[in-house]
Amino acid sequence: MYQKILLFLLGFGLSIIGFIFIISYLNLLTIGYNFLYYVNFIIRRIECLYAPIGLILIFISINIDKGEKYELHI
């Protein structure tokens, strides 16, 4: 249970950091670069890759099953 919570919080933190950098690099569009250059730029930045890594960790933490089923038996 605690591993799932820690994995979720780690994924959440990484995705927040990544998305902050992705949004901050949107300023490249205002100085005249096109969208394809922007996408090419953020794909190559390691701090922007934290966003998809964080989302993957969140997805894993939600879908992990430890075999504990809490069901009501009537």
What is the four-CA torsion angle of 53, 59, 23, 16, rounded to 10 degrees?
-80
Token look-up 């670069």 returns: 33
Average pLDDT on 13-28 reads 93
Euclidean distance between CA atoms 74 and 59, whole angstroms: 32
Average pLDDT on 15-26 reads 94
22 vs 66, residue with greater confidence: 22
Eight-state DSSP code of residue 3: H
Average pLDDT on 55-64 reads 91
- The pTM (predicted TM-score) of the whole model is 0.78
CB neighbour burial string for 46-71, b if at least 16 within 10 angstroms, e if fewer: eebbbbeebbebbeebeeeeeeeeee
